[in-house]
Amino acid sequence: MTSSMPKHFNPPESEKSWYDFWLKAGYFHADEKSALDPYTIVIPPPNVTGSLHMGHALNNTIQDILIRYRRMDGYEALWMPGTDHAGIATQNVVEKELADQGVDRHHLGREQFVDRVWEWKEKYGGVILEQLQRLGSSCDWVRERFTMDEGLSRAVREVFVRLYREGFIYQGDYITNWCPRCHTALSDLEVEHHERKGKLYHLRYPAVDGSGEVVVATTRPETMLGDTAVAVHPEDERYEDLHGRTFNLPLTHREIPLINDTFCNMEFGTGAVKVTPAHDPNDFEIGERHDLPKITVISLEGTMTHEAGESYEGLDRYACREKVVHDLNEQGFLVGSEDYEHSVGQCYRCQTVIEPIISRQWFVRMKDLAQPAIEAVEDGRIQIYPETWKKTYYEWMNNIRDWCISRQIWWGHRIPVWTCTGCEEILVDVDEPVSCPKCGTGELHQEDDVLDTWFSSALWPFSTMGWPEDTGTLRKFYPTSCLVTGFDILFFWVARMIMMGMKFMGDVPFRHVYIHALVRDADGHKMSKSRGNVIDPLVMIDKYGADAFRFTLAAFAAMGRDVRLAEDRVEGYRNFVNKIWNASKLVLQYLDGVEGDQIIDPPMAKEIQNRWIRSRLSFVIGSVRDAFDSYRFNDAAGSIYQFFWHEFCDWYLELAKPSFYGDKGEDSLKETAITAANVLETSLRLLHPLMPFLTEEIWQRLPVKGDSIMIASFPVADTADRDIEAEESMGVATDLITGVRNLRTESGIKPSERIRASVVSDDDAFSEIVRVLKKDIERLGRLESLELDHVGPIPEGAATAVVKGQVLFINPETEVDAEAERVRLSKELEKVVAELKKVNGKLSNSQFLQKAPPEVVEKNRAIQADLNIQKGKLQENLESLGK
């Protein structure tokens, strides 16, 4: 039974109905009790505040391709979905919303504010997941997780406590990156450095005893209010006299010493450095080495403190900078200033310039955690694709620094540390202690800080599976198979997952890491919401359909390169969708009386075009599998595109039409219909991971058994289908047809005009093939007749061509333009002669003959022979033109 198909494929309708169908049927769900081998991917959890951008689209399309491929190929495929609570980002969003209502979070208080964030999350947090569904993502939604779920929070506390007890976590007063706007510390990774234009000011500090002065340079003059020393290199001869002196710090009443420190670069400026231990990471270390006081002059709000002095207290740091410069200048301490481009650290969430400030923070000692993670990549337990990223990974891991994990915000996992107000006992535990075990009386106050969001992300591969419980999910699906991600979070996330996986699971979190391209904007910049340069994938889906969009992303996803999405490519693949639809429509018309079993397992074909297309198909299956297996999605897309459009549609279906129309009899119709359906059905299964909706829509209309293409098996190449003879014969036919068509066009013969063509052949095998395929060549060449084995001279004025070393000519009813023909043939001859010259050069080179591999020499000889024949025939043809 066959059904007729609508004129056009309707993506919105199809996408919605099939997605619902799959969901209801439970095909997305992975069973941990299954006997099948597992294939697991955990999603890089998008921020709850997120909405789908190109990066997500590419990332999730790739994951869905992998998951659908393995699911069809007989694996128990789990794609674990979820979202990330995104501490700072989410808090910022809700704070902004509150601000619009004129509310400050401090007025609400912590508890109420957190409630509000939860409300926000319930209301808007699912948006991104719905958007992922529009892409066709076949996640196991039943297992959806959120990094602040009870279970995951428990895992976070467990990890914190264990790390603390083993001495990996410590607390201390250190200089950290501080965002005055988000009002929290940031890890080094969360600071983005950008080149900015600024000024380098040169300041004069006079010696207390009037015996001289020292000139220092700074881009942040306001920090001089917190200077506690001037440092010079111990070997800097310029300052020998000044050793041991003290200097007046301008604008203050303080005196500061001159110290020696090898940190100073004698080549830079005056070689003297002002030292502000409280506001510069280097100066902090110098301060530690020399036991200098640390004077905090900039507050957590980014304003000047009391310590900065009366005239500056309360000023914003930038207002203060101006005032300090003004005052220094007025009092004669400003030597000068110059334009200066330098790197400035900014908050990765709000772009505010960060301020290095001393505060009490929690840190994780990384070195010992990093070692096993380095080894896991070194010994291949984790493979990174493309490999070039390994180097970057090692570089960072080998120079890893301690991780500041505390954040002074409210939205996140509150640090599981309590202090007893009675005896100051510090309690670190997974669950909130009921009372102080030491004094039993004091009140317990939990640490105010929350953990860096990436702390919980680092546990994602096992926390989502129920750790620390020993769950069936963990046993079945951990370690995961492949992590698909962009390189922008290689350190933030991937490296930390490896470390935590090794530490707490004793095994790698994933066996493969596939690092895909970053989708950039037209200027090559990273697309990001804060930059406002995003192109909306949903618009692409609305405009061209999810299948075309997915296929485009796959076609662009060459390993290790960035993507700049061109919309006309999406349009091109939308046309491919249309092509598949229409080809299917054609094939479906001829399936009366064809059984599903015959389509799935067709008998050996007899007719050459049927043998040929099945041979081609078996090669394509192989290359698509290879491409998927090695993450070459562009090759997979390319192979199948080329096959389906240019081989199946352009050649095969055209050759099949006479059979379809019944011109070649009942048997031919039957065999061809079965073959066409078989190739179509197999192609749909090959295409399914790339184009899930379209393939399901068509597959459901085929008379094959099964409930859905997404649980049908992925094609396996049948080597018995490989048929070199058929491919060679078809090569002759297609070349002849192309030759005829070319002659027609070149000779200006209208398609409607029926003409005669002849072949002059001195090759029996060639002639035999032409004889067998005569009718096809005539039809597709739009020939009235094809004369085989023409003997005698080529008629004067006939247009000629050389095909596979044999001569083809057409007998036009109207005389061809001999001059135009001469020009055409001469041009072709010129080309052949040029090529021949190259080949002759190679083959007359004894070095080439000696050193090149025999097969290469052989190939060149064949080319030479072929070119010689072409040359000869072209010359003859030219001569036969007369004159």
Partner RNA sequence: GGGCGAUUAACUCAGUGGGAGAGUGCUGCCUUCACACGGCAGAAGUCACUGGUUCAAAUCCAGUAUCGCCCACCA
* Maximum C-alpha span of the chain: 119
Residues 305-334, interacting with RNA (CB under 7 A):
none
Rounded to the nearest 10 degrees, the angle between the axes of helix 764-772 and helix 724-746 is 80
d(CA 462, CA 469): 10
DSSP string, 252-278: SS-EEEEEE-TTS-TTSTTSEEEE-TT
Least CB distance to RNA at residue 282 (A): 4
Give min distance, CB of 323 to RNA, in A.
19
CA distances from 443 to 112, 139, 417, 430, 437 (A): 22, 46, 13, 18, 11
Kindly tell me which of 208 and 566 has the beta carbon lying closer to RNA: 566
Tell me which residue of 476, 511, 471 sits closest to 36, measured CA to CA. 476
> Candidates 131-139, 152-160, 212-220, 425-433 — which segment interacts with RNA by CB under 7 A?
212-220
String marking each residue 747-766 x if it binds RNA according to CB under 7 A: ---xxx--------------
**How many Cβ atoms from other residues are within 10 Å of residue 724's Cβ?**
8
| Of the residues 34, 112, 265, 785, which one makes contact with RNA according to CB under 7 A | 265
3 state DSSP class of 437:
coil
Distance in angstroms (rounded) separating the CA atoms of residues 737 and 740: 5
Beta carbon nearer to RNA, 29 or 657: 657
User: What's the min distance (Å) between Cβ of 275 and RNA?
Assistant: 9
Q: Which residue, 709 or 839, is less far from RNA as judged by CB?
A: 839
Q: Which of 15, 222, 746, 776 forms a contact with RNA (CB under 7 A)?
A: 746
Q: Which amino acid would we find at residue 211?
A: S
Residue 691 near RNA by CB under 7 A = no
Task: Give 248 or 282: the residue with its C-beta nearer to RNA.
Answer: 282
- Residue 203 near residue 234 (C-beta atoms within 8 A): no
Site for RNA in 436-465 (CB under 7 A): none
User: Segment 477-506, which members bind RNA (CB under 7 A)?
Assistant: 488, 491
Phi, psi of 256 (to 5 degrees): -125, 150
Q: Contacting RNA (CB under 7 A), which of 391, 529, 837, 861?
A: 391
Site for RNA in 502-531 (CB under 7 A): 523-526
How many residues at the interface with RNA, by CB under 7 A?
95
Q: How far apart are CA 494 and CA 240, in angstroms?
A: 51
Residues 653-672 that bind RNA (CB under 7 A): 653-654, 657
Closer residue to RNA (CB): 73 or 835? 835
Nearest-angstrom CA–CA distance, 81 and 43:
5
Q: Which of residues 532-591 bind RNA (CB under 7 A)?
A: 556, 558-564, 566, 568-569, 571-572, 574-575, 577-579, 582-583, 585-586
> How many Å apart are CA 372 and CA 382, to the nearest integer?
12
Residue 719: what are its φ and ψ, rounded to 5°?
A: -65, -20
Sheet strands (E) in 469-566 = 480-486, 510-516, 519-520, 563-564
CA distances from 90 to 46, 48, 96, 117, 664 (A): 12, 7, 10, 8, 69
Residues 469-508, buried b or exposed e (16+ Cβ, 10 A)?
Answer: eebebbebbbbbbbbbbbbebbbbbbbbbbbbbbbbbeeb
x/- letters, 173..202, toward RNA (CB under 7 A): ---------------xx--xx---------
218 or 729: CB nearest RNA? 218
Q: Give 242's Cβ-side CA count (13 Å radius).
A: 28
Give the other-Cβ count within 10 Å of 290's Cβ.
Answer: 16
Binding to RNA (CB under 7 A): which residues in 20-59? none
Residues 4-23 binding RNA (CB under 7 A) are 8
Candidate residues 170, 268, 318, 394; the one interacting with RNA per rule CB under 7 A: 268
Query: Which three-class secondary structure state does DSSP give residue 211?
Result: coil
Contacting RNA (CB under 7 A), which of 271, 277, 486, 703? 271
Structure tokens at 697: 């829509």
Q: Which stretch binds RNA (CB under 7 A): 287-295, 641-649, 679-687, 694-702?
A: 641-649
Task: Tell me which of 90, 91, 92, 218 binds RNA, using CB under 7 A.
Answer: 218
Question: 152 or 273: whose CB is closer to RNA?
Answer: 273
| Shortest distance (Å) from residue 731 CB to RNA | 12
CB of 600 to RNA, least distance (A): 22
The span of 66-74, 153-161, 614-622, 742-750 binding RNA (CB under 7 A) equals 742-750
199 vs 381 by CB, closer to RNA: 199
The closest alpha carbon to 673, from 686, 657, 685, 688, belongs to 657
| Residues 144 and 81: beta-carbon distance below 8 Å | yes
Give the tokens for residue 156. Answer: 């976070």
The H or E element containing residue 360 is strand 355-364
Residue closer to RNA, measured from CB, 469 or 488: 488
265 or 441, CB closer to RNA?
265
- Give residues with Cβ within 8 angstroms of 378, minimum separation 6: none
- Evaluate whether 742 touches 801 at the Cβ level (below 8 Å): yes
Supply φ then ψ for residue 811, to 5 degrees.
-105, 100
Q: Using CB under 7 A as the criterion, what x/- string covers residues 339-378 for binding RNA?
A: ---xx-----------------------------------
Shortest distance, position 734 Cβ to RNA, whole Å: 8
- CB of residue 10 vs RNA: minimum separation in angstroms? 10
SS3 call for 618: helix
Q: Tell me the torsion sign for CA atoms 366, 367, 373, 378.
A: positive
Q: How far is the CB of 377 from RNA (least distance, A)?
A: 16
How far apart are CB 841 and RNA at their closest, in Å?
Answer: 9
Q: Which of residues 834-863 bind RNA (CB under 7 A)?
A: 835, 842, 845, 847-848, 851-853, 856, 859-860, 862-863
Distance in angstroms (rounded) separating the CA atoms of residues 33 and 690 = 28
Per CB under 7 A, the list member of 157, 274, 321, 516 interacting with RNA is 274
Q: Based on CB atoms, which residue is closest to RNA, 11 or 38?
A: 11
Are the C-beta atoms of residues 613 and 678 closer than 8 Å to each other? no
Options 269, 658, 706, 797; binder of RNA; rule CB under 7 A: 269
Q: Which is nearer to RNA, 58 or 77 (CB)?
A: 58
Instruction: List binders of RNA among 220-249 (CB under 7 A).
Output: 220
HSE-CB for 457 with a 13 A CA cutoff: 22
Q: Among the candidate windows 33-41, 57-65, 270-278, 424-432, which touches RNA by CB under 7 A?
A: 270-278
Q: Per CB under 7 A, does 219 bind RNA?
A: yes
Minimum separation from the CB atom of position 22 to RNA (A): 25
- CA quadruple 835, 841, 843, 848: dihedral positive or negative? negative
| Stretch of 71-79, 391-399, 464-472, 712-720 lying at the interface with RNA (CB under 7 A) | 391-399
**Of residues 122, 601, 650, 784, which one binds RNA by CB under 7 A?**
650
- Smallest gap from Cβ 300 to RNA, in A, equals 21
Shorter beta-carbon distance to RNA: residue 240 or 432: 240
